[in-house]
Amino acid sequence: MITLRGLTKRYGDKVAVRDLSLEVAPGRVTGFLGPNGAGKSTTMRMILGLDRPSAGEALIGGRRYETLRHPLREVGALLDAKAVHPGRSARAHLVAMARSNGIAVRRVDEVLETVGLTAVAGKRAGSFSLGMGQRLGIAGALLGDPRVVMFDEPVNGLDPDGVLWVRRLMRSLAAEGRTVFVSSHLMSEMQLTADRLVVIGKGRLITDAPVAEVIAGSSRNAVKVRSPRAGELLALLSGEGVEVSRVAEEELLVVGVPLERVGTAAHRAGLPLFELSVREASLEEAYMELTGTSVEYGVSEGAAGMGAGDVRAAARRAKAGM
């Protein structure tokens, strides 16, 4: 288990993480989400003793990382896939890690096979693609057969088969009763992989809840309606103050009211329905709602809508005005 108690990190006047308290329990995949600059990487670094907290504490199995005698046997982590000596082979890199933590060298070959790198074990890590580097980093995280594993953006550079493999790996690790804590910007992947979500913004905890609960709380959950008299139903619901939009000639999306209310209104008005169903919000939609006021490095609406030609034109204007 990972336990954070009042975890805080300051860099001068900047507070990167503020009074963060939570528990990451074993037996499930916990997704760690937040906008760029939210404090995710800083939090993970403090858990692993790479950054010292300004206040509070981060514990792994009830102990601080620096007190662990053989840390790789307790917690495995992938924070930066490029943190490998480029001149070393994949196998030599893992052998050095194993010997430093009293791990049998035979375990190196086991994890190389697990991540699919046996055939290139003798190649220099510096020649690896981004995806291969990710696999090597995951091998390092698994080397000590730890009860706690932490991954920061583990599917970067992986092809679809690799993404599926990582998803299945994390689920299998959780099924074995391990604590799995993973940071990612891929909302669709987190929706498929995580059981619970921890979302932070500007260093503060926004939510700590099951994935289904986060999605259920979104205001973008809607009722999908198809009717040959969609226009009349639109006018009826709008007149009752319901948020409703027409997405096709015979299709409406109704937000913020239960399916039963829409069906009852149509029945009372004698309007036929071809379809009445719930359209569940995606995790991405729910996440954007939660973090909308916590984006630290965003762009203006005008800039967000600029195409490549617009960007080049703006750059030329800026240069001309220099």
- Are 38 and 115 contained in the same domain? yes
Q: Percentage helix, strand, coil, to 5, in the chain? A: 40, 25, 35
Both tokens of 12, joined, read: 């001068």
Closest CA to 200 of 41, 314, 74: 41
Write the CATH number for 267. Answer: 3.30.70.980
The DSSP code for 89 is: B
Both tokens of 293, joined, read: 């006021």
CB atoms within 10 A of CB 75: 22
* Pairing mode of beta strands 28-33, 196-201: parallel
Distance CA 70, CA 258 (A): 54
**Residue 299 domain-assigned (yes or no):** no
Q: Judge residue 320's burial from the number of C-beta atoms within 10 Å of its C-beta, 0-12 exposed, 13-18 middle, 19 or more buried.
A: exposed
Q: State the pLDDT at residue 255.
A: 87
The residue whose two tokens read 């500007």 is 202
For 186-226, the three-class secondary structure string (H helix, E strand, C coil) is CHHHHHHHCCEEEEEECCEEEEEEEHHHHHHCCCCCEEEEE
- Are 51 and 180 contained in the same domain? yes
Q: What's the rounded mean pLDDT across residues 232-250?
A: 91
Confidence of residue 311 (pLDDT cuts 50, 70, 90): very low
- Are 44 and 189 contained in the same domain? yes
Distance CA 200, CA 38 (A): 6
- Are 129 and 155 contained in the same domain? yes
Helix, strand or coil for residue 114? helix
**Residue 275 domain-assigned (yes or no):** yes
Q: 282 and 190 in contact (C-beta within 8 Å)? A: no
Last residue of a domain, one of 178, 210, 242: 210
The 10s digit of each residue's pLDDT in 225-238 is 999 999 999 999 99
- Asked if pLDDT for residue 52 goes beyond 70, the answer is yes
Helix, strand or coil for residue 90? helix
Closest CA to 288 of 187, 210, 204, 149: 187
Q: State the pLDDT at residue 300.
A: 47
Q: State the pLDDT at residue 295.
A: 60
Distance CA 237, CA 230 (A): 10
- Are 148 and 237 contained in the same domain? no
Write the CATH number for 84. Answer: 3.40.50.300
**Mean pLDDT estimate for the chain:** 88
- Are 116 and 25 contained in the same domain? yes
Cα end-to-end span (Å), the chain: 55
- Are 117 and 15 contained in the same domain? yes
**Residue 291 domain-assigned (yes or no):** no
**Residue 257 domain-assigned (yes or no):** yes
More confident residue, 243 or 172: 172
Both tokens of 197, joined, read: 């979500």
**% of the chain surpassing 70 pLDDT:** 91
The 10s digit of each residue's pLDDT in 255-271 is 888 899 999 999 999 99
- Asked if pLDDT for residue 161 goes beyond 60, the answer is yes
For the chain, helix (H) and strand (E) counts, in that order, are: 13, 13
The 10s digit of each residue's pLDDT in 78-98 is 998 888 899 999 999 999 999
- Asked if pLDDT for residue 301 goes beyond 70, the answer is no
Residue range of the domain that includes 262: 222-279
The 10s digit of each residue's pLDDT in 214-225 is 988 887 788 999
- Are 206 and 238 contained in the same domain? no
**Residue 148 domain-assigned (yes or no):** yes
DSSP letter for each residue of 23-60? EE-TTEEEEEE--TTSSHHHHHHHHTTSS--SEEEEEE
Confidence of residue 319 (pLDDT cuts 50, 70, 90): very low
Q: State the pLDDT at residue 322.
A: 43
**Residue 217 domain-assigned (yes or no):** no
**Which of 102-106, 132-136, 305-309 has the least mean pLDDT?**
305-309
**Residue 42 domain-assigned (yes or no):** yes
The 10s digit of each residue's pLDDT in 123-149 is 999 999 988 999 999 999 999 999 999
Q: State the pLDDT at residue 312.
A: 46
- Are 175 and 226 contained in the same domain? no
- Asked if pLDDT for residue 183 goes beyond 80, the answer is yes
Domains contained in the chain, number: 2
- Asked if pLDDT for residue 46 goes beyond 90, the answer is yes
- Are 74 and 166 contained in the same domain? yes
Q: Write down how long the chain is.
A: 322
Q: 4 and 25 in contact (C-beta within 8 Å)? A: no
- Are 181 and 264 contained in the same domain? no
